Amino acid sequence: MALGLGWGLTQPLGKLATSTGYQPFGLIFWQLVICTVVLGALSLARGKGLVFSRQALIFALVVAVLGTLVPNATFYTSIQHLPSGIMSILISAVPILSFPIALALGMDRVSLRRIAGLGLGLIGVAMIAAPGAGLPGHLLVFLPLALVGPLFYAMEANYVARTGTGGMDAVQAMFMASLVGMILCLPVTLATGQWIDPRGVWGVAEWGLIGSSFVHALCYAGYVWLAARAGAVFTAQCSYLVTGAGVVWAMLLLGERLPPLAWAALVVMLSGVALVRPRATPHAQGE
């Protein structure tokens, strides 16, 4: 519940961060700086620092790319053009996309119920693209781009569920991933001319980035902790609340209103998520 409510808030805050024209890699770099500081402080307060084992470094590199650099680049690009509420609906595709990936990796079994859920997810995306969902035709090109983030989050969740966190706890793991991501992002930011100078007066965009980054750091650590213990498909169920909370936060903070067809797409997408989710076992319930 905490992950869903927190991550739902990052959607409208992310839109505010792009409101003055800041570009993706500049925003990602400073987001990673804030995440590194927050998670580093938490790690040090708990008496745990960086881990330089081969396993830990590979984990940090993979998670930095799958969980931050690629999905955040597509998120910031997409949310400049798409309503925050629509982006929140699309994020619910994470568990739907997680299932076929887990299936391909031999981490899950074929299930007609989950296949039906996957089909409902695709129908939901098609409904968002349909006339009457509130998206002008020239913005439809950003829908596939907006789905890249959920796809990479699904890949990341399966990776964590399969390999663990490289011998680190969740906070250490995300501290390492944020630090590695920051190092990788800096030259890209400078080379593409997307550097953001933090000096000067801070406005809505700057505070939106700061707020989003703090919430993201805490939620990300919680997500990795849960994925390592409960599995990728189960952990992705926080998308239920990410979606609902994101739509409500967008209404409260941005004044957005979704048309009826978009609300219908939300119901269809969440129905697909409900079918994709694994059934609880007595062992899992005991945990």
Q: What is the pLDDT of residue 238?
A: 76
pLDDT tens for 33-79 read 999 998 898 888 888 888 889 999 999 999 999 999 999 999 999 99
Q: pTM value?
A: 0.86
Sequence-distant (≥ 6) Cβ neighbours of residue 248 within 8 angstroms: 8
Confidence of residue 285 (pLDDT cuts 50, 70, 90): very low
pLDDT tens for 75-115 read 999 999 999 999 989 988 888 888 889 888 888 788 888 88
Long-range contacts of 108-114 (CB under 8 A, 24+ apart): 108/233, 108/278, 113/275, 114/275, 114/276
pLDDT tens for 235-279 read 767 767 888 899 999 999 999 998 999 999 999 988 988 888 765
Our separate counts of H helices and E strands in the chain read 14, 0
Confidence of residue 190 (pLDDT cuts 50, 70, 90): very high
pLDDT above 70: percentage of residues in the chain: 95
Going by C-alpha positions, the residue among 167, 156, 162 that lies closest to residue 53 is 167
Alpha carbon distance 187, 195 (integer Å): 10
**Cβ neighbours of 225 (radius 10 Å):** 19
Q: What is the pLDDT of residue 287?
A: 37
Structural contact between residues 182 and 32, judged by C-beta atoms closer than 8 angstroms: yes
Six token digits for residue 164: 């663990």
